[in-house]
Amino acid sequence: MKCKFTSLLIAVLLLIEVSCQNKKADETTLANPDVMHTSVRKLTDVMVHDIFSPPVASRVYAYANIAAYEALVPGYPQYQTLTGQLTGLKELPKPTAGQEYCYPLASLRAFLTVGRTLTFSGDMVDEFEPQVYQKYKEAGLDEEVYNRSMAYGEAVGKKILEWANQDGYRETRGRRYTVVMAPGKWQPTPPAYMDAVEPYWFKIRPFALDSCSQFKPAVPSKFDISKSSDFYKEVLQVYETGKSLTTEQKAIASFWDCNPFVMHNTGHVMYATKKISPGGHWINIAAVASKKAKADFMKTVETYALVSIALADGFISCWDEKYRSARIRPETVINTYMDKDWVPLLQTPPFPEYPSGHSVISNAAAVTLTSLYGENFAYTDSTEVVFGLSPRKFSSFNQAAEEAAISRLYGGIHYLPAITNGQTEGRLVGEFVLGKIKTRKAGNKAKQMAKAE
């Protein structure tokens, strides 16, 4: 009898142990950051499809990732909300005290709620969403917890959208820009001679910066085509570099092109090639870093949020100067004064030259990623593989940012001062964002499934 009782007790204990292991495995599945990476990639694909300009894409990334962060942060006591830290972001919905939530699910719901609303092809998100949520149902998430988490995430997402609606974006839609007809000023460039992109972006509310002109770069050299002038030397450098590019330099330029506006002429037909935006490229680098470091769900979302904020403020800062100086592009100068048949390796983007947007935003992102993952974080960047280009290896985020910046000289679309001064501006933006925005606080270990406090 005693032996039977002992056997029964052992069986019960084994059953309890297995049940606990299954529950733990379920919670691990529920908090797997892969689904966040997949969702961010889907948002990128939607914006490539919609041909969003680089500044607009950065705005979408920022609001969607901030929403994801804010819906997730109540489940991780060592992190803190960004309310009161980001400009105009005030109180957000809170989870009900004493109720259990799956915060990763809420985070995804908030992210997709914002992403769907801020893009044109929301139907692409609609088709994708059920696949995301089905993973949580299959993992055995309690129905009440599921519904509660979904409702909470949606509430956070809607509140973030209300905040987004106050940033000046709507007021800048449809405003016409008059090209300044003066020597040295930007003119539309071939082949499409497109209108200026986002000439009023400086009116968009910054996320962390005090103002769009907080880190205004040095004044560019005076337009002067005399051969002894600084400007002429800058133009000549672009021209001569373009005529003697190595295979490696061409590969670098193509890898960092990230121009969503590339147009092609075939006879009388003109068509576009869709590409990822420069900000989208760095968002993908954030994904690469998070995966390699095996970051948990919270750090993954923190990474996306901080990088997105740095990118968005980088574009606001950069675009402020672009339309203040309205600097002429190398292609226009060279075709007018040096060589009418010269064509840059890369197609010139449809906005003024100074400073280099790639230089600004790449350095802002690199500063942010370095703070999260370290100075010498080596990685392979395969972002452009889907666009037919080979992966590139980097020893650090800063090395990648330097390469992204100089790629614009190789591409024939920027003078060197726009690159070097843009790098300085970008680093200042990134450092300021990190100095102002604090995601961490002293607290307990992270938990993915938790009751609200």
Q: How many CB atoms lie within 10 A of CB 337?
A: 11
The residue type of 315 is F
Cβ atoms of 253 and 430 within 8 Å: the answer is: no
Residue 275: closest CA among 256, 252, 289: 256
DSSP state of 188: -
Residues whose CB is less than 8 angstroms from the CB of residue 50 and which lie 6 or more positions away in sequence, other chains included: 119, 120, 121
The residue type of 291 is K
Residue 353: closest CA among 128, 176, 188: 188
pTM here? 0.92
Beta-bridge partner residues of 39: none
Cβ atoms of 89 and 83 within 8 Å: the answer is: yes
Domains contained in the chain, CATH given: 214-436 (1.10.606.20)
Burial of 373 (0-12, 13-18, 19+ CB in 10 A): buried
pLDDT digits (tens, 9 = 90+) for 130-165: 999 999 999 999 999 999 999 999 999 999 999 999
**The total number of residues written for the chain in this structure:** 453
| CA 336 – CA 333 distance, rounded (Å) | 5
pLDDT of residue 315: 99
pLDDT of residue 174: 87
pLDDT of residue 125: 97
pLDDT of residue 452: 62
Strand, helix or coil for residue 266: strand
In tens digits, the chain (453 residues) has pLDDT values of: 444 434 433 333 333 233 223 344 367 789 999 999 999 999 999 999 999 999 999 999 999 999 999 999 999 999 999 999 999 999 999 999 999 999 999 999 999 999 999 999 999 999 999 999 999 999 999 999 999 999 999 999 999 999 999 999 999 998 999 999 999 999 999 999 999 999 999 999 999 999 999 999 999 999 999 999 999 999 999 999 999 999 999 999 999 999 988 887 766 677 777 899 999 999 999 999 999 999 999 999 999 999 999 999 999 999 999 999 999 999 999 999 999 999 999 999 999 999 999 999 999 999 999 999 999 999 999 999 999 999 999 999 999 999 999 999 999 999 999 999 999 999 999 999 999 999 998 644 444 445 565
